[in-house]
Structure 1
Amino acid sequence: MLFSAILAILLAQLTIAQPSNLSCSCFLTNGSSAGYFTSHSFFDFRNIDTSPSTIPPLLADMNSTANAPRTSDYFSIESFSTRLPTFQSAAEIDTIAHNYHYISLRVLARVQGSPGACAGIFTYLPSSNPRDVQEADIEILTSGPRSMVQFTNQPSETATGGVEPQATVNGTNPGGEDWTEWVAYRVDWLPGKTTWYANGQMTAEIGFQAPRDPATIILNMWSDGGSWTGNMSIYDEAYLQLQWLEMVYNTSGPVSGSSKRSADLDLLQNRNIKGCETVCSIDENVNAIGSPMVISNHTGAATREQMGNVAWISVVISSIANRVAYALKNS
């Protein structure tokens, strides 16, 4: 069966919000999955240039998409494909760092377009054995009910190919909120569990096979043209769009990733260690998104706020070349 679409990527200058207070030495999140983290990053997509001149030229065949260089100095693309009448395009952007070891990630996002696509935001540690993959997913199927979001600690299949019911939750946005509208999604990956929220309300929590080791963070929009996403009709399109992305996180080992334990992990359970004297929040008493607020200070001395080494882009499955996606600068 033939499928078609075009991947369009908007190259844009990004606005990176500056925190309101630079004395944060660690960050405390709220909710049932509260934890302490060492680093904070915020990226604002709301004032980017959307003019047609910022869109790269259409890649017209499979070979050119598989070997495409990065289309902007803002980010590097591992690989992506363009959708023409003979194949289905998919796009995936990985963070440059592969050593995120527990994170609270929030995005203001919406998904729009035709049935037959899947929008994903997730942590990912690959393996040559599919049973050893570690992954915590937010997935939105454009062929599904427009309030339903899938939350999963992968793999979601058993060794015999059946469905692993402990691994996944078919969740619903609070109040039945339509995912074509702007919704603030949050995923908290902590030791022994993954917890998901939408618009501040918990939607799922799974302890079964929660990720354990340092990982990449991925944003993608894709279709398999089959039983999972459904068949997108020729020349149809779907979008994953972002207004902003914010995260607090810990790391372990080098940027390339490692299973080596880091002292950062101790912050998750115990803030009374060196380096966590001034505690900030991205949830409580915040005046503006992206600007953490000090909630306790035991030294009175300014320390530091870290901006992470991360590259992002939002992606679109599209049949029209001049469609918009958003890119996140490698800070």
Structure 2
Amino acid sequence: MHASAKLLFAFTVLFSVSKVAAECTRFSTNGSTAATYQFHRFYDFRNLHESLSRIATSTSLNDAIPNSASSKIISAAPWGSGWNARKWFRPAPRKDTVDMQYTPSSISISEVSEPSQEDSTCLSLHTTRLPNGTQLASELQFTEYNVTYASIRMSARIHGVSGAIAGFFTYRNDTAESDIELPTGGAANSVHFSNQPTTNPSTDAPIQGSTFNVSLSADQPTSTWNNYRLDWVKGRSAWYVNGVQSADTEVNVPDAESMIILNLWSNGGNFSGRMDTGGEAWFDIQWVELLFNATAGSEVQYDETACSVESSLGSPVPNASPAPCWWLSASRFWWMIGMASVASLTVCV
């Protein structure tokens, strides 16, 4: 084989290996809580016309299997394997609150009503107050229950009467929880960010730095589509709205494996408020993006490829490197030089 042919072979191998190496093995974020995570998931609810059509003509699994914790919408959709629709009863914790019944039938894929909205479907969670006083509510749990540190993001809106809370949060227990919470009704421009607990259990006094009430500007109320993000890293939590950091804290940051939950609820208490009988509210979601570690995390290895999630929604892009072959170790480099039988070769410039 001529030297030129061998050189071409060497570059062909280099190109093939680089394509494999470019596959994302870690996923990076930006901002003050920039981090690198093991796993990435993206759930897009914006164009599920086929799923919506199948659901409209199918029989509800909940009608066929009354005790099933799965809903027809979750089973029918291709992204359903990542989430569990909860069916459970939560009794009123105090006399001045109400019972809540979480039901999968309150979760659906809905058409977006605005004529100007290009994306014509969304995931919709629903809540309503029944004549018997019980509050029907909705909850989805991510199937990975051992998340340790995460960046969770969504495009969402809320609408309906006052008295409900839309939640997107990590949860281990009531003292290891980090929240994005959107109250319904009212001025519809308030967002709550918090790490639980937010009050001292002994004195009921507020814990400074554990919770933040953020008012959105008048031109982007929570009843319109906004992007929300919670970053949970070791020792710190940060919250973002539409790409801008709104709050951060080192107070009550969770330090245990957790679940990721989406829900819409009302227990009639001071925080959520109480719906009138027949009142309704909705929590609509266009997409959910999750970056997370499934253990305490491991150090990124030299030959792994970290991809940024910040430049292309749902499609991580390999991070820029100082040279096109940054990943190539010295031993591989000289092995390929030998294969090409080239006395001197400059590969990286």
TM-score (norm 1): 0.69
* 1:278 alignment partner in structure 2: 305
The equivalent position to 1:249 in structure 2, one of 284, 292, 302, is: 292
Name the structure 2 match of 1:38. 38
Q: Per the alignment, do residues 247 and 69 of structure 1 end up closer, same or farther by CA in structure 2, a change over 3 Å counting?
A: closer
Could you tell me how far 1:144 is from its partner in structure 2? Answer: 4.5
Q: What secondary structure, in the 3-state scheme, does the structure 1 residue paired with 2:212 have?
A: strand
Matches within 5 A, 1:135-146: 135-146=177-188
Alpha-carbon distance between aligned partners in 1 of 2:232 and 2:59, rounded to the nearest angstrom? 34
Q: Can you list the C-alpha shifts for 1:107-162, whole angstroms capped at 9, x where unaligned? A: 01111111111000000002xxx4xx200100011145322100000111212223
CA distance in 2 between counterparts of 1:116 and 1:54 reads 33
Q: Hey, what's the Cα distance between the residues in 1 that align with 2:248 and 2:219?
A: 18
Equivalent AA in structure 2 for residue 154 of structure 1: Q
Larger radius of gyration: 2
What displacement does 1:300 show? 6.4
Structure 1 letter corresponding to 2:140: I
Q: CA RMSD in A?
A: 2.6
Query: Per the alignment, in what secondary structure is the counterpart of residue 209 of structure 2?
Result: helix
- Mapped to 1, the partners of 2:328 and 2:216 lie a distance apart of 41
> Deviation of residue 68 (structure 1)?
4.7
1:153 corresponds to 2:195: yes
Check whether the contact 1:143–1:230 (CA below 8 A) recurs between aligned residues: no
Q: Is contact 1:149–1:173 with CA below 8 Å preserved after alignment? A: yes
Q: Are residues 1:90 and 2:92 paired?
A: no
Q: Equivalent residue for 1:114?
A: 161
1:41-68 C-alpha deviation (Å, 9 max, x unpaired): 1111011243544684888xxxx98x55
Structure 2 regions of 5+ residues with no counterpart? 1-20, 89-100, 104-128, 330-349
The count of aligned residue pairs is: 252
Q: 1:293 aligns to what? A: 317
Question: How does 1:125-204 map onto structure 2 within 5 Å?
Answer: 125-126=172-173, 130=174, 133-159=175-201, 160-173=203-216, 177-204=220-247
Higher relative CO (CA 8 A, sep ≥ 6), structure 1 or 2? 1
Deviation of 1:171 after TM superposition, in Å, equals 1.1
**What is the aligned partner in structure 1 of residue 266 from structure 2?**
223
> Does residue 50 of structure 1 match 2:76?
no
Contact 2:29–2:36, Cα closer than 8 Å, also in 1: yes
Residue 125 of structure 2 is matched in structure 1 by none
The runs of 5 or more residues in structure 1 that have no matched partner are 1-20, 253-260, 302-331
Q: Matches of 1:239 and 1:54 in 2, distance apart?
A: 23
Q: Is the 8 A contact 2:159 2:185 kept in 1?
A: no
Give the 3-state SS of the residue equivalent to 1:109 in structure 2.
strand
Identity %: 34
Q: Could you say which residue in structure 2 is the equivalent of 1:326?
A: none
